Amino acid sequence: MTPAQHNPEERPLGALLAPDIIALLEESPALIAAETEEMHPADLADVAEAMPEAQVPVFLAALPKERAAQVLEYLDEELRAEVLEAMTAQQAAALVTEMNPDERADVLEELDEDVAEEIVEEMPAETRKETQQLRKYDPDSAGGLMTTEFVSVDADTTVEEALRLVRRIARSDKREAMHAIYTTDEDGRLAGVLSLRELLAAPEGATLADVAWTEPQAVSPTADREEVARVISNYDIVVVPVVSESGHVMGVITVDDVIDAIQEEQTEDVQKFGGMQALDEPYMQIGFLSMIKKRGGWLSILLISEMLTTTVMQHFEKQIDLVKALPLFIPLVMSSGGNSGSQATSLITRAMALREVELSDWWRVARRELPSGLTLGVLLGILGMTRIALWQWMFDHKMWLGYDYNPHWQLIALVVGLSLVGIVTFGSLAGSMLPFLLRRVGFDPASASAPLVATLVDFTGLSIYFLVALLLLHGVLL
């Protein structure tokens, strides 16, 4: 049989069988366990999501407890919370106890505080202690991401002994993958690391100290998920240990949790850059009021800031009245400032997120953006002037679309052209410096959104435009 190939337009194989499994669940639930034995828990979770919500606990009960716990791990967060809250605390505790410690802590995080407490109370003592400890950490920190199931062995152990130990653990019911084996010194502190593969390759008779890598990469429990992702991706490792200040391994973070963390982080960054608070929930699931709150706040702030443009316009009321052609180009010159600012901001926030650029690089960045902004401004300025000359020419030749800007249309064109140079230069500089400024005062540089930059640049852009007009048209038209 050809293996399941993934095609974005197709649901995974498991979901195709959902109706059969749901039917089987009604007719003979006793067969469910055996019939679904070969399915991946992620696919079983898809099946659970396709059935009526009331059926999900029945379905989970029909599976062996460890399988049910695995399915829970892949289940949609909201459904999972509802299913667990619908169970008795004992039932829920029995299921949740079978989960990996890190997943268990995450799941409890999503429940009502009271319900979570009740469930924790029903856990076996050891599990309870472990869970309470993990719940102390921010879920987005290394401590919150780590699982406490890992293999660590005294560095003096021989390769044969370690292999026997690893086989015993592999055959036990603990499910955490063991891609890496950590060695510890006489005080139990992290001393080295070797992969399962390296253990298999190790010569007989050697001790782990002979074959393990010393100075293993590690993170502190308070490191944020971006930092964890960077270590894992820089060193191409699949698991990184979380080490206390005293040097003891507290847990490990595996690469799958890091991928999820990267994806979430990126979703937040994209939404912030779009000019809103991060939703923290899938778009299709978030409630109407939460959505309005997350979007309305920034929209209102931006509107209020943008009111400055009205003040600028009021200030130049007389000039607008004297030179009818002036207001015509306001949207044009203003938007170019916002666009160039948006480009610069997206470049710099991303370069900061990837640590290509640090706070201290602001001057180097400014020195790159100044000539770039000037060049782009000249380019746009020429385009803008050409537009005016063209329409005037069409007017002079009585063609459709032609427009009479003024007897001094060349001057108007020059005002637009020079303003564009100034505005695009300012936009590029302001857009690139805003993330530095935000970071300097302690905000997330990713809050520098395209609309925020546009709003900041609009006010200045408008002022530049009118000042250039005052300078060039003084004595002629003004």
Residues between 405 and 464 with contacts to a copy of itself, criterion CB under 8 A: 424, 449-451, 454-455, 458, 462
Site string for a copy of itself, 314-353 (x = CB under 8 A): x--x--xx--x--xxxxxx-xxx-xxx-xxxxxxxxxx--
Return the range that interacts with a copy of itself (CB under 8 A); candidates 110-118, 124-132, 237-245, 467-475: 237-245
- Residue corresponding to tokens 């139990």: 188
Site string for a copy of itself, 346-385 (x = CB under 8 A): xxxxxx--xxxx---x--xx--x--xx--xx--xx--xx-
Q: Mapping DSSP to helix (H, G, I), strand (E, B) and coil, where does residue 183 land?
A: strand
Site string for a copy of itself, 276-295 (x = CB under 8 A): x--x--xxx---x--xx--x
User: Does 469 engage in binding with a copy of itself (CB under 8 A)?
Assistant: no
Looking at the Cβ atoms of 114 and 187, the one nearer to a copy of itself is 187
Closest separation in Å from C-beta 179 to a copy of itself: 7
DSSP conformation class of 138 = -
| Footprint (CB under 8 A) of a copy of itself, residues 75-94 | none
Closest separation in Å from C-beta 245 to a copy of itself: 8
Site string for a copy of itself, 30-49 (x = CB under 8 A): --------xxx-x-------
Closest separation in Å from C-beta 113 to a copy of itself: 28
Q: Pick from 63, 116, 123, 229: which binds a copy of itself (CB under 8 A)?
A: 229
From 365, 333, 336, select the one nearest 434 (Cα to Cα): 365
Rounded to an integer, what distance in angstroms lies between the CA atom of residue 305 and that of residue 323?
27
From 257, 282, 97, select the one nearest 177 (Cα to Cα): 257
Does an H or E element contain 145, and which? helix 142-145
| Footprint (CB under 8 A) of a copy of itself, residues 158-217 | 166-167, 170-171, 177-179, 189-191, 195-198, 200-201, 213-217
Q: Pick from 18, 83, 155, 255: which binds a copy of itself (CB under 8 A)?
A: 255
Asked whether the beta carbons of 175 and 66 are under 8 A apart, the reply is yes
Looking at the Cβ atoms of 59 and 182, the one nearer to a copy of itself is 182
Rounded to an integer, what distance in angstroms lies between the CA atom of residue 52 and that of residue 2?
32
Asked whether the beta carbons of 190 and 249 are under 8 A apart, the reply is yes
How many residues line the site for a copy of itself (CB under 8 A)?
142
- Residue corresponding to tokens 């410690």: 101
Q: Pick from 28, 88, 132, 233: which binds a copy of itself (CB under 8 A)?
A: 233
Return the range that interacts with a copy of itself (CB under 8 A); candidates 24-32, 60-68, 114-122, 220-228: 220-228
The CA-based angle 410-414-415, given to 5 degrees, is: 120
Packing angle of the helix pair 330-353, 362-396 (nearest 10 deg)? 150
From 353, 369, 334, 374, select the one nearest 438 (Cα to Cα): 353
Rounded to an integer, what distance in angstroms lies between the CA atom of residue 88 and that of residue 44?
23
Cross-strand partners of 239:
254
Closest separation in Å from C-beta 465 to a copy of itself: 11
Using DSSP bridges, classify how beta strands 180-184 and 190-195 pair: parallel, antiparallel or unpaired: antiparallel
Cross-strand partners of 243:
249
- Cα of 14 vs its chain's centroid, Å: 28
Closest separation in Å from C-beta 317 to a copy of itself: 7
Closest separation in Å from C-beta 28 to a copy of itself: 23
Looking at the Cβ atoms of 125 and 307, the one nearer to a copy of itself is 307
The distance in angstroms from the start CA to the end CA of the chain is 82
Closest separation in Å from C-beta 162 to a copy of itself: 12
- Return the CA Rg of the chain: 31
Looking at the Cβ atoms of 86 and 379, the one nearer to a copy of itself is 379
